Structures are given as C-alpha cells and as structure tokens.
Amino acid sequence: MSRPAPRYDLASIRSDFPILGRTINRHPLVYLDNAASTQKPRAVIDCIRRVYEEEYANVHRGVHTLSQRCTDLFETAREKVQGLLHARHGHEIVFVRGATEAINLVAQTYGRQKVGAGDEILITAMEHHSNIVPWQMLCEQTGAVLKVIPITPTGELRLEGLDALLTERTRLLSVAHMSNALGTINPVETIIARAHAKGIPVLLDGAQSVPHLRVDVQALDCDFYVFSGHKLYGPSGIGVLYGKESLLKAMPPWQGGGDMIRRVTFDRTEYNDLPYKFEAGTPSIADTIALGAAIDYLDGIGLDAIAEHEHGLLRHATEQALEIPGLRIIGTAPQKGAILSFTLDHIHPHDIGTLLDQLGIAIRAGHHCAMPVMDFFEVPATARASFGLYNTYEEVDILMNGIREVIRLFG
Ligand code: PMP
C-alpha cells in the first residue's frame, strides 16, 4: 500500500502542536477526532498569550494606543478570513461564535424578514443539527415548511429530484459543503447553479470543508458561507458568517447592543455599517486575532498540500478497513473528505471508542449531531476517525490494529 510523503515536513509540523507529545492511558496520543475539533499549533497558542500579555484592550472604542493596536490586529484577522474565503469585501466577513451561531443569525434575520407562512426552506438529509434546528425554529415562528433533499445508501445527495424541490415558495437552500457524519463532499457548484436559476439563495455550511478544501466564495457564487475557527486549528468560540454584501445590507440586525449602532436615542436607533451591524457587544478579541494566526499557519503549509496528505491517509485507512471482517463503512461517496465513519458487527460504537481510548486513540463515537443520518442508515451511532494535517500513516495503522484488538476482545 502506498504511503506518499506529504509535501511538508510532517515531523516538524507535529512538533508545532504541543499536545501531540502527550500520552493518554500510558500510550502516545493518536488524535483522530479532528472533525469534532482540531488541536492548536504553538503559533495560535502563543498568539493568544501575546495578545493578553502585550496588546490587549477593547476594540473599536478607545483612542488610546492599546485599543487602536488591538483594533488593527482584529481587523487584520478579518482581512485574513477574507483572503481565506476569497470574499470580495472585508465587510462581508461577520465574526460570530461559530458555524452554529452563523446559521442561527441568518435564520433569525434573513429568515424572519423573508420567510412567511407556507414558504419553504430546503435542506438535505445529511445535515448537522446546526443546519436543521435553526430552520425548524424559524418554521415554527413563521408557519414555513422544512423540505429535505434525500440521500442514497452511499451517502450522496439524490439530486434528480432537486428541481422539483426548488419551488416558487423556496426562500433558501442550506446545505453542508462536506458532511461531518459521512465525509461526503457535495457538488455544491451544481446545486448553487440550479438554485440560482430559480432565484433562490444558497447557504453553505463550511464547518467541515474549510479545513480541508480551498474555498472561493466568489467562484462558488454562494450567498452565505459559515465556518468555525476551532476546526481550522484556531481557537474555539470564534467563527465566521460570510454573506454577499447586497444580502447582508438588506438584512436587519440580530442582537442589539454596543458596536452595532451609529446613534441611539430613546425614540430610535440608527444601525452601524457592515459588518458591525451584526457584531453587537465586545467580541472574542484574542480568539479572533488568533484565528488569523491559524490562517497564516495553514497558508505556510499550503491547503492543497494538506488536502493531498489527508486524502492519502483516508485512502490508506479505507483500504485497510475494507479488509476487517464485520466492519461497515458508513459513507462511501466517491468524493469524500478525510472522515471514516464505521460500525462493527455486534459491538456498540461507544464500546469501540472507549476501548480505543484505552490505547491512547481518540476517535468519536455517537450520532455526530446528525441523528437523521443515523436513522437513514438504521444505526444508533457510528465510530468516526477523522484525519488532520498532522496525522501519519503509522497512526492509521495503530487505529486499525486497535480495531482488530477491539474485535478480539469482544470475541
Ligand atoms: N456543521 C457541521 C457540518 C459540523 O460538522 C459542525 C460541528 N460538528 C457544525 C455545523 C457546528 O459547528 P460549531 O459547533 O462549531 O458551531
């Protein structure tokens, strides 16, 4: 089996991540839960420390040196996100807590403004709960209807019925760029073109895709794009809503408070310009700046090189998994990111996760916040190994030996 060396110095990259040096249950940590959250390089950790030790003050408010310095760093992080997504304007980048908050923001602003009784929101059967529940809440509030694009047994979208699902009542199509439960990378270019042909805007949930694919929101022509910093080797508690300028301008604000206003009297409030209109209150300052550091770090390695390496790991893991009797891969689409979801005959995924943990191997076991996917495949849960830029072929082998050990223990 081929084990192509990555285009970057993997040993040196691994040494950038302090946590990878630790042991878990007397074994070296094998961290394969990157789809849930990634570990942080020293560049990100040091950035947070440096902000608090040397640069910290509140942003957008003060005339004093530190406040201006911190505001510059904060706004530079916005430019870095703009570059990452290739957005046309910096003010199309809104900082939020994460993908979840970004989708809720769109549901409660764009949604509350545009969606009425009998209108439709279209999602897919492979969405994370974050891209289901906010729309259900909106439907309850407005009397709209949630429609769902079904999936196939390989975990791909059934697009033959898409045109029929895109009706004159559809107000938004919201779809995962890459599924966290299955690994499927959806053909979003086709989906967007077909929605736009009927004048329907599209939100892409990029929580899983941004760390693994090169994203260009202008080339994709998506209307909204959301992601979380913590899956991109950056801090938790910071994420991004990208929206096309024309849409964001027309949307009402979500939360009211400081920073999102231009002028307040007791009679009325004039709202601030983009993106501040959507950024009420003191933001997560150091974490936002450190998200910029994470983007610099990834740029230094190269997103294409990372994707290539992760692809090799997934291929290697899949080839080995197929040789294990009783192992069923959930999600076998030809276009997949570095996620291997699986079940073992007669062994609950929680037992797989717990036993692997005894060997120092961190994987995810559960419904992955995608219960409808579990229902479709008629499993209560899956075990999920997900790979990141620092994982090695040896770690894949350790996982596969671990799985064989689990099967042996269960007899
Ligand atoms: N969408 C997808 C596809 C995800 O994988 C996740 C995180 N598991 C989310 C949305 C939600 O991200 P967060 O919890 O960071 O808001």
> 291 is in which domain, residue-wise?
46-299
pLDDT at 62: 80
Could you tell me if 194 and 75 lie in one domain? yes
Using the mean position of ligand 1's atoms as its centre, give its distance from the Cα of residue 267 in Å. 39
* CATH number of residue 354's parent domain: 3.90.1150.10
Distance 66 CA to ligand 1 centre (A): 34
pLDDT bracket for residue 2 (50, 70, 90): confident
Q: Are residues 334 and 291 in the same domain?
A: no
Look up the CATH number of the domain holding residue 144.
3.40.640.10
Closest CA to 84 of 267, 187, 263, 212: 212
User: Would you say 107 and 132 are in contact if contact means Cβ atoms under 8 Å apart?
Assistant: no
C-alpha to C-alpha distances, 356 to 20, 23, 199, 277, nearest whole angstrom: 17, 14, 49, 47
Judge if 323 and 367 occupy the same domain. yes
Whole-number pLDDT of residue 411: 75
Domain membership of residue 40 (yes or no) is no
Q: Are residues 140 and 207 in the same domain?
A: yes
Mean pLDDT of 48-71: 94
To test ligand 1's pocket by mutation, which of 37, 38, 105, 128 has the most ligand atoms within 8 angstroms of CB? 128
pLDDT at 187: 98
Taking the whole predicted model, whether its pTM rises above 0.85 is answered as: yes
Question: Number of folded domains in the chain?
Answer: 2
Going 287 to 291 to 297 to 301, the CA torsion angle's sign is positive
- Ligand 1 atom at minimal distance to the Cα of residue 99: 16
* Ligand 1: lining residues by beta carbon, under 6 Å: 98-100, 128, 130-131, 176, 180, 205, 207-208, 228, 369
pLDDT in tens, 64-121: 999 999 999 999 999 999 999 999 999 999 999 999 999 999 999 999 999 999 999 9
Active site residues: 369
In whole angstroms, how large is the CA radius of gyration of the chain? 22
Ligand 1, atom nearest to 101 Cα: 16
- Which pLDDT does position 235 carry in this prediction? 98
Same domain? For 243 and 370 the reply is: no
CA of 323 to the centre of ligand 1 (A): 31
d(CA 26, CA 29): 9
